[in-house]
Structure 1
Amino acid sequence: MSLLLVGLLWLGVTPLMAQSQLWILDGNSGQPVSDVFVKGNGVIQTTDSTGKVVINASQKVRVYLSHVSYSPQYYFVAPQAVDTVYLSPKEVALTEVVVQGFEMERPLVEQSAAVAHLSGHELSRFKETSMVDAFNTVPGVRMEERAPNSYRISIRGSSLRSPFGVRNVKIYWNDIPYTAPDGTTALNLLDLSNISDVDIIKGPAGSMYGAGNGGVVRLNNDLSSFKNGIATAEYMVGAFGLSKYRLALQQPLKSGNIAASYVRQKSDGFREQSASEREVFQWSGSWDLQDDNHLNFNLLYTDLYYELPGALTAEQVAEDRTQARPGSEELNASIRQKALFAGVSYDYSLGQHWEATTSGYVNTSDFDDPFNTDYKKETQFGYGGRTSFSFNHKLGRHMHLEWVSGGEYQYSKTSADNFGNVGGEPDTLRFSDDLFVKQYFLFTQAELQFPKDFFLTIGLSQNHLNYDINRKADMATGNAYDRERNFDPVWVPRVALLKKIGASQALRAAVSYGFSPPTIDEVRTNEGSINLNLDAERGTNYEIGYRGTWWHERLNTDLTFFYFLLDETITTYTSPQGVTLFRNAGKTDQKGVEIAINYDVIRKPSDIINLVRLAHSYTGHFFKFKDYLQEEDDFSGNDLTGVAPITWVNTLAVESSLGIYLNVTHQFTDEIPLNDANTVYQDSYHLLSGRVGWRKAFSNQWNLEIFAGVDNVLDQEYSRGNDLNPYGQRYYQPAPGVNGYGGIKLAFTY
């Protein structure tokens, strides 16, 4: 009898002894994650409010962990184990999304500015060959790609100043100044894989970031999210000879991480003379040092080549949309650029209430540009850095002060030679310059948190800019000379007030001043003229907005109204030789509304279809010329060139516990005026695209993704970017019709 009792007791105790416990935590915040779907050992369970789940495991079992807001993963559970598992967040509500707006990390709902955040999940929902499609889902932002790898960005404004390249927008990469001191940005040197997420500040941000009325784009490449070694291989193919592959390695260290990646992307192009090829190598490191100090290092090398098909007239588009501008092929219109960028940033503590961040970079670039009108060669060297000191202290029981001050300095020297172009080769030298640019600014900002959740922000900067153009040779005049301009120092203030309503809603209002001086390419043109009389654009922006999260954090809303008065607007015109020139054009009156809404129709981790998310963005930019006279022409009251009055974007995301996902995007763009006289418009158009894929974790080491997609499903005839005020009526840069792509990603965790 005693043996029987012992046996029964043993059978009863064994299940208890075989119980294992898992605590599921957020990989970023370390907070418990409830309602995680745990499948394995023949049962389906969910974690409780503490992130805990109990699993009966008499032997080692594999469980599948999934949650609508986190990336799924497998985990091996041993008998009687007590383990902690960290999940990587996908997308979260406004109250949880932490962004760095005006140098202060805060939840998005507490940002007193029009700030938008693009997560890595949102960046990868499209073809992944460029940032264009993802950026265009953000209200108030328009990104164009007139030729493959030829980008321009417009934030709350016209693309008038961007015949090529990125102007009027300040860009940082991993907290390091990436925009050149003259205001231009070679965004095409980066691959999408060099970016983990993006923060976009819309409107003048000069009180903290210097010149640029459009705003600021912060490109981040976070290395802190992986805790194991990961080797990745990716391959993609698509229409028009597209191919792209990527090899990457991420290795955790005792006190940090290192990562290296190589990307090669190639395409024959949709049009004649539109082939492209880009190779990008990145090496990054991140180290945690003593006393809460942190060091980041990034090295980027890019070898870029892309052909320039040129713009067409309406008649040429009707005849053959794939043709290049006459002469482009014979003269090999193209760009070849090799560039090296190395930057470091250091975060360090200076005591109980003080912290500081210092970053610096050096870069070199070789640039060849045979074009229809000339052949340009440039060699550039530059360096710069930024430092800021922040003070964080509680003032009594109900007030809090956060104060940040610092400065930024940048310098570049460019040797620029312009030749004639004979058969795509440089011919006789026309003129040769050494171009020196120096810009620096000092800034300070204080944010006070008052009782009843009022936040007051006051910021101010003083900005300096100097151009020195040393013309060494000029074949037209036979003279050598030096031209210099010191722009008057500019004081740039900003004042903002925010009132939180509960934990998940806020109202905000802001007044900010902005300025944007001409770039060196606008002062010194390809036909040899130097226009140092070109003045900086200056303007004042008035803004009110609302952010809120509703319906158990399933509905997010963001609404902004702004009124921007811009003076000395810089516009383009084209000489009879086809050279783009610039001039100040009086004032513009810019009124706008921007709305972003996203909500989860279905969010049930335990169901097969565990997520259905809809998102909508609306941009209403009602911009007019004001007091714009050019000789005998009066364009006052006309629509601002290059701006679509209305843009509407709708997205659908569907995910399932089987690993299958679907992304669908619809974009409507209103008609766009293509000249100042408003006599030529690009017709409105609808773009529809979709991507479907399957993700599978075969163990706790192997992850596989297979995907395919279609762009421009409706086969719309449109331009992905137009030429504005061109000579010879060459307005249009036709984009591809319906086209597809597909690829595979394989990652091994060790």
Structure 2
Amino acid sequence: MRDKQIFLWINLLIWLFIQEVNGQNKIHGTVLDANGKYPLIGASVMIEETSQGSITDAHGGFEITNVIFPVQLKISFVGYETIILNVKEYPADFIVRLIEKPQELKEIVVSAFEGSKRLKEIPASVANVGFREIERYNLTSPQQALNTLPGVKLESTTIGRYSLKIRGGNLGDIGHDDGYKTYWNGIPVTLASGGLPLGQFDYGSVETMTIIKGPSGSIYGSGLSGVLLLENRKPSYKQSSIQTDFFGGSYGTYRYGLTFTTGGQNSDVRLQYSNVHTDGYREEAASDNKYVNLNARFFPNEKQSLSLIAQYVDRSYGIPGNLTAEQVAEDPRQSTFSRELDNGLRGKNMLIGASHTLRFGKGWENNTSFSYQVYEGNFLIGNQYFTVADRNITTAFSLRTATTYNFKGLFGNHAKWIFGAEYTRGINEFNEFGNGFESAIVSARTATDRSVLGFSQLEFELPKDITLTLGASFNNFRLDFQERLLPMENPYFSKEVNDFSPRIALTKKISEGLFLYTNVSKGFAPPPRGAIDNNGTQLNFNLESTKGWNKELGIRGNTFSGQFFYDIALYKLDVKDVILPRVSSNLQGIELIVNENAGAINRSGIEVRTEYLVRLRPESKFSKVGVFSSYTYMNHRFETYNTIETDQNGQTTEISFNGKHVPGIHPHTLVSGLDLVSKYGVYLNGTYSFYDAVYLNNSNAISDNAYQLVDVKIGFKNSLNTNCYLDVFVGGNNLLNTSYSSTHQYNSSFGAYYDPAPGRNFYSGVNIKYTF
């Protein structure tokens, strides 16, 4: 009996030992996207040089049994970087995060409307630029990369001084800044007043720029033109690196940067310093920008992630002013302002922010983020006739929270409910000097902007591969203004507006390679302070938000086994209560302007994006041959815009611009490109751009000519060994030496419409990266 008990105990111990060994001889873990926000379903996890492996489940989980350590684990997913990990022993907590590497546009995953989907499944017109598109040109500016997108044009007078037009919006006085909102890693960074200079960002640290075109107020609030979503570059998984880059070009343009990254299982960090400078093509157009960026992410477990951003920017740029046609013919590089005054803007900005994602319960997820920024700047322009000098300090705080609940909805199909809120408050302290910064302060103003947004959205998967989206938001905007020094009839005033923004969208999957979508949405843009107080000359208390209904129809698809991708969108945006300047009187030849909700604008257009990747044979000397093309047609006209013209004798004349083209809109734009990459690392990027003639005033009496541009970049990029990567290149812009204006001043009283752009110019650069 005793021997039998000993025998049983021995067998039990052997069984437990075997179970322990078997437990140690398996690998199980989770594969997530680089942001750690959602699992990658169907990712391949294989042991190198064997047939052992697994496919991740609906939660991104996988398990491989009967593993003999050490092994090399290859993890791959379509559209993401493939990684190979050396696993020496049983890992206790195995979480892998893959970085996006879209080889085909059909597989690009876009984070928009508080969710992540493949681009072709999103029921809205969305354009995406990745780091490869930015790097395709150079890292000093995002202008050329963004201008390859249909419906998008970024204008620039010098590095750091940008104006982004999405579907012709953001035209200043013509529509009074009906622009867009900006989010960085999902963190709101737009001021409550609606402004955020794009020059604040170093584009060497940007991984993707996603633009949602058209009103998106049901989730994001104000903005008739769209939304800009930025994501910073991510460190590679379980890898550290040091990278340096240098760029030098015409007109004293250069950039140098130094970057350190390290990526681990539970955290990663990216620290970057860069300096971007140009003497400028025109006099008084010099620009100097210094950036320090810190991005860190922490993953306590597979249900939580924390993202931190910190940025310090010291930047300045000159303002050469606009020229008349006669001045352009005389000397296109001259400035209209005095060189002795050091004209332009000088400013420093600090931004910190954080975002926390938590998955809890069954199908629940919450993302909460905040940002705080401080800006201090001086602005100075002048000549022998006048001087404008002001100094301002702006502080802003933003808080956003969004909760997502995934559940079974109608017909037992998947459904999603998103709800949340956003709060932004900014304070601007503004001092204006009488005649330069050495003179007395003549005006001291404080403006406080506050916006509150509450939103809710439901998404249902219906039969017949149809997805229905219903969303809406309620928005409250308040402006408080106080003048403490300058005598005014109303030294203190407040303005508050409320807006409701609904949206309905449908997506129909025809096949895996063909999707149709349509949506109807309402957008709005609150009246800006400059329109309400007319820059201190007259108060306009009756101004309301500019509003517009947008109708959109689109088709996305791919054919020829995924080699050819197309994205076509048609839109019609009817904008009402447009804030437009109207001439109210004339004082000794100087027109006095009053801003009113005086007009309506009809915007309609067609946007087409195509890309074709050539299928290469194994014996080909090329690893990539691709072409792309973007075409934009815009027909933007005043439906209603009546004003008066008053001469010095007080005689008035009624003027109607009804039916006229809105100034600043190119009716036709075409951008095409060619990319060649050889197996030896030599590459060529070529771009051709055509911009149609553009009207410069409301009466359409004056226009600027159409123009064409050709840009080429040639380089060599390859790994010198397992640890060192090299990219060296040369390039040229505007190789046709076309004369054109980079920006315009619309409706100029003195005919100073033009800001001439550089002619033919060249550059070269090098990028070296060492990993360890």
The TM-score, its normalising length taken from structure 1, stands at 0.87
1:405 equivalent in structure 2: 419
Cα 1:361–1:89 shift into 2, 3 Å: closer
Tell me, yes or no, if structure 1 residue 735 matches structure 2 residue 757: yes
CA deviations 1:117-154 (Å, max 9, x no partner) are 11211121112211111111111111111233211111
1:505 equivalent in structure 2: 514
Offset of residue 528 of structure 1: 4.8
1:514 equivalent in structure 2: 523
1:564 equivalent in structure 2: 573
For the aligned residue pairs, the C-alpha RMSD in angstroms reads 3.2
**What does residue range 137-176 of structure 1 map to in structure 2 within 5 Å?**
137-161=148-172, 168-176=179-187
Q: Describe the SS at the equivalent of 1:192.
A: coil
Q: Describe the SS at the equivalent of 1:157.
A: coil
Offset of residue 319 of structure 1: 0.4
CA deviations 1:55-80 (Å, max 9, x no partner) are xxxxxxxxxxx9998889999999xx
Q: Tell which deviates more after alignment, 260-269 or 100-109.
A: 100-109
Offset of residue 505 of structure 1: 1.2
Q: Describe the SS at the equivalent of 1:299.
A: strand
Offset of residue 726 of structure 1: 1.8
Match of 1:334 among 344, 352, 371: 344
Offset of residue 402 of structure 1: 0.7
Match of 1:444 among 453, 456, 471: 456
2:703 equivalent in structure 1: 681
Tell me, yes or no, if structure 1 residue 344 matches structure 2 residue 354: yes
| Aligned counterparts of 2:708 and 2:550: Cα–Cα separation in 1 | 31
2:63 equivalent in structure 1: none
| Aligned counterparts of 1:693 and 1:446: Cα–Cα separation in 2 | 48
Offset of residue 524 of structure 1: 4.2
Cα 1:508–1:445 shift into 2, 3 Å: same
CA deviations 1:231-262 (Å, max 9, x no partner) are 00111110001111000100124511011100
CA deviations 1:26-77 (Å, max 9, x no partner) are 997596789xxx9xxxxxx9x99999xxxxxxxxxxxxxx999888999999
| Aligned counterparts of 1:176 and 1:89: Cα–Cα separation in 2 | 20
Q: Describe the SS at the equivalent of 1:318.
A: helix
Tell me, yes or no, if structure 1 residue 237 matches structure 2 residue 268: no
| Aligned counterparts of 2:44 and 2:757: Cα–Cα separation in 1 | 45
On the 8 A contact 1:211/1:517 being kept in 2, the answer is: yes
Cα 1:94–1:274 shift into 2, 3 Å: closer
Q: Which amino acid aligns with 1:403?
A: W
Q: Tell which deviates more after alignment, 67-76 or 111-120.
A: 67-76
Q: Tell which deviates more after alignment, 294-303 or 66-75.
A: 66-75
Q: Tell which deviates more after alignment, 92-101 or 505-514.
A: 92-101
Match of 1:416 among 423, 427, 430: 430
2:400 equivalent in structure 1: 386
**What does residue range 302-313 of structure 1 map to in structure 2 within 5 Å?**
302-313=313-324
**What does residue range 167-566 of structure 1 map to in structure 2 within 5 Å?**
168-223=179-234, 225-290=236-301, 292-325=303-336, 327-372=337-382, 373-395=387-409, 398-422=412-436, 425-474=437-486, 477=487, 481-487=491-497, 489-526=498-535, 528-566=537-575
| Aligned counterparts of 1:652 and 1:50: Cα–Cα separation in 2 | 38
On the 8 A contact 1:158/1:641 being kept in 2, the answer is: no
Tell me, yes or no, if structure 1 residue 601 matches structure 2 residue 614: yes
Q: Describe the SS at the equivalent of 2:251.
A: coil
| Aligned counterparts of 1:74 and 1:270: Cα–Cα separation in 2 | 47
1:14 equivalent in structure 2: none
CA deviations 1:306-364 (Å, max 9, x no partner) are 11001000100010011011x34233321001000000000001211100000001111
Cα 1:472–1:164 shift into 2, 3 Å: farther
CA deviations 1:183-207 (Å, max 9, x no partner) are 1112111110131011110000001
Cα 1:244–1:580 shift into 2, 3 Å: farther
Identity %: 30
Cα 1:209–1:26 shift into 2, 3 Å: closer
Cα 1:551–1:122 shift into 2, 3 Å: same
Match of 1:721 among 740, 743, 762: 743
Q: Which amino acid aligns with 2:238?
A: K
Tell me, yes or no, if structure 1 residue 126 matches structure 2 residue 137: yes
The TM-score, its normalising length taken from structure 2, stands at 0.84
Tell me, yes or no, if structure 1 residue 642 matches structure 2 residue 664: yes
| Aligned counterparts of 1:236 and 1:581: Cα–Cα separation in 2 | 47
Q: Tell which deviates more after alignment, 162-171 or 656-665.
A: 162-171
Offset of residue 640 of structure 1: 0.8
Tell me, yes or no, if structure 1 residue 624 matches structure 2 residue 637: yes
Offset of residue 609 of structure 1: 1.1
On the 8 A contact 1:147/1:733 being kept in 2, the answer is: no
| Aligned counterparts of 1:33 and 1:267: Cα–Cα separation in 2 | 47
| Aligned counterparts of 1:158 and 1:381: Cα–Cα separation in 2 | 26
Q: Describe the SS at the equivalent of 1:679.
A: coil
Cα 1:76–1:498 shift into 2, 3 Å: closer
Offset of residue 526 of structure 1: 4.5
| Aligned counterparts of 2:627 and 2:115: Cα–Cα separation in 1 | 30
On the 8 A contact 2:665/2:695 being kept in 1, the answer is: yes
On the 8 A contact 1:167/1:184 being kept in 2, the answer is: no
Q: Which amino acid aligns with 1:278?
A: N
Match of 2:625 among 586, 606, 612: 612
Offset of residue 656 of structure 1: 1.2
Offset of residue 620 of structure 1: 0.4
CA deviations 1:530-586 (Å, max 9, x no partner) are 434333211101111100011111111101111111112234589977999854441
| Aligned counterparts of 2:563 and 2:593: Cα–Cα separation in 1 | 49
On the 8 A contact 1:93/1:549 being kept in 2, the answer is: no
On the 8 A contact 1:601/1:611 being kept in 2, the answer is: yes
Q: Describe the SS at the equivalent of 1:316.
A: helix
1:592 equivalent in structure 2: 605
Which residues of structure 2 form unaligned runs of 5+? 1-30, 35-39, 56-75, 89-95, 645-653
Q: Which amino acid aligns with 1:745?
A: N
Offset of residue 677 of structure 1: 1.0
On the 8 A contact 1:94/1:107 being kept in 2, the answer is: no
On the 8 A contact 2:518/2:553 being kept in 1, the answer is: yes
Q: Describe the SS at the equivalent of 1:185.
A: coil
| Aligned counterparts of 1:731 and 1:219: Cα–Cα separation in 2 | 32
| Aligned counterparts of 1:507 and 1:578: Cα–Cα separation in 2 | 50
Q: Which amino acid aligns with 1:393?
A: F
Cα 1:271–1:106 shift into 2, 3 Å: same
Q: Describe the SS at the equivalent of 2:464.
A: helix
CA deviations 1:484-524 (Å, max 9, x no partner) are 1111x211100001100121211111110010112234434
Which residues of structure 1 form unaligned runs of 5+? 1-24, 39-44, 52-65, 79-84
On the 8 A contact 1:177/1:384 being kept in 2, the answer is: yes
Q: Describe the SS at the equivalent of 1:729.
A: coil
2:23 equivalent in structure 1: none
| Aligned counterparts of 2:397 and 2:98: Cα–Cα separation in 1 | 39
Q: Tell which deviates more after alignment, 579-588 or 365-374.
A: 579-588
On the 8 A contact 2:188/2:399 being kept in 1, the answer is: yes
| Aligned counterparts of 2:670 and 2:563: Cα–Cα separation in 1 | 21
